[in-house]
Amino acid sequence: MVLQSRDGRVVAVARGVQGEFKHRDPRFLIGRTSPLKTAPPAPEPKPLAVDEATYRIEQFPEVQELEQRLGLATAFGLRNPYFNVHERVTNDTSVIGGRTVINWSSYNYLGLSGDPNVTRAAQEAVARYGTSVSASRVASGEKPLHRELEQELAALLGTEDSVVTVSGHGVFVTTIATLVKDGDLVLHDALAHDCIVSGAKLSGAKRRPFPHNDWRALEKQLQQLRPHYRRVLIAIEGVYSMDGDFPDLPRFIELKKKYGCLLLVDEAHSIGVMGKTGAGIGEHFGVNRADVDLWMGTLSKSFASCGGYVCGSKQLVQFLKYSAGGFVFSVGISPANTAAALEALRQLKAHPEKVARLHERASLFLRLAKEKGIDTGFSAESAVIPAILGNSLHALQVSDALKQRGINVQPILYPAVEETAARLRFFCTATHTEQQIRETVEVLAEEIARARAESGEATGTA
């Protein structure tokens, strides 16, 4: 029996132990035997019935789905097209398995990765500053090279300032998550890169895609949704990496102004490519740079390095440097990568003919492909040219056949694109020759025709 006082405190628990509680000194109980009987042990709880597919990684449905996709090539006697080892600098050619091939799978657009000046700058930076800055830049990782690169980027894009980070993908995720939160909205192109989509998802803001490059559809969304959110961020790309097309930037600027939104332009595949001097889609359209809030991109393509950047107002850059988790809590970009990007940027400014040559090479490839009846989608005035084949098997077959004939190009399969949009993606560079382009398009047309003919024989279709 349990006795309680009026205030609810326990006074005693049964008569047999009443004496045990009259001594407040706990030492009194040491060595004494309680008259209470020991309760029988509780039965072991039954283990929870948990589905193994929730904690055994090899049983995750998405893991098994990936294995099935990877097995597609093997099932048809084809080689796995992923993680091919390139044994030297990759530009217009590469070496795979000891064999030199014409290479279309690397976005070394201006051929500056491997350029002697860029290589020398990286080597000198390592000799002077080491292989790592060994801290976040906020703490003790700041090097003179960092500010030099940021000032050069801002000058190229005509903005007040810029910040460079250690990751191209990461700079989008951390920037978006820093600027928008719960109660905000991100409206992005339906074909926007994963870095934009991931940043929007992780930010806590609502996210809605709009049909690809369709500014009219975007305006309808803004008319309906803008009054219900604090901040609205519109995110588009300078050149879309799977299709090689680009948006009508002035139209998106009009909408940004009309509805009071932020505008982000991802220039990963347009900087160094579009515009007379390679200054990107802003130069191509001749827009006022201040009309875009965030000019963003990577250092891994035209700038022959690794990392990301944001260009914009001084207030934006300062806020990101003190507030963006991916910058504040991450190591600063390495001396070698900073120096390589800085020298590549200087080479771009000193040699605009590289940009002109890239334009010529990409235009030639696109024209010849169209003449052969190859579906290049909406690609225009960019260095990205797809050959859309319509299903993943054809893409794998043609890619494998091209490799056997000394041409390396990556197949792009579902889920990176829709199954009916499976394709080969060609990155043109300033170092590709006219002969390489003509040979590639000729062989490509032959292998596409062969794959379709074999498919028709197997299925009985034309």
Q: pLDDT tens-digit profile of 242-263?
A: 999 999 999 999 999 999 999 9
Burial code (b: 16+ CB inside 10 Å, e: under 16) for 218-256 equals bbebbeeebeebeebbbbbbbbbbbbbbbbebebbbebb
- Find the DSSP H helices in 204-265: 215-225, 249-258
The per-residue pLDDT for 33 is 52
The per-residue pLDDT for 77 is 85
The per-residue pLDDT for 206 is 98
The per-residue pLDDT for 69 is 85
- For the chain, list the domains and their CATH numbers: 74-103+352-459 (3.90.1150.10), 117-350 (3.40.640.10)
The per-residue pLDDT for 74 is 83
Residues 6 or more apart whose CB falls under 8 angstroms from that of 345 comprise: 149, 152, 153, 156, 303
Residue linked to tokens 């000019």:
295
Low-confidence ranges of the chain (pLDDT < 70): 1-37, 457-462
CA dihedral sign, ordered 174, 179, 184, 187:
negative
Neighbours of 29 (CB within 10 A): 12
> CA 40: distance to chain centroid?
60
Q: How far apart are CA 332 and CA 211, in angstroms?
A: 37
The per-residue pLDDT for 42 is 80
Q: How far apart are CA 434 and CA 427, in angstroms?
A: 14
Q: pLDDT tens-digit profile of 268-314?
A: 999 999 999 999 999 999 999 999 999 999 999 999 999 999 999 99
Burial class (CB in 10 A: 0-12, 13-18, 19+), 455: middle
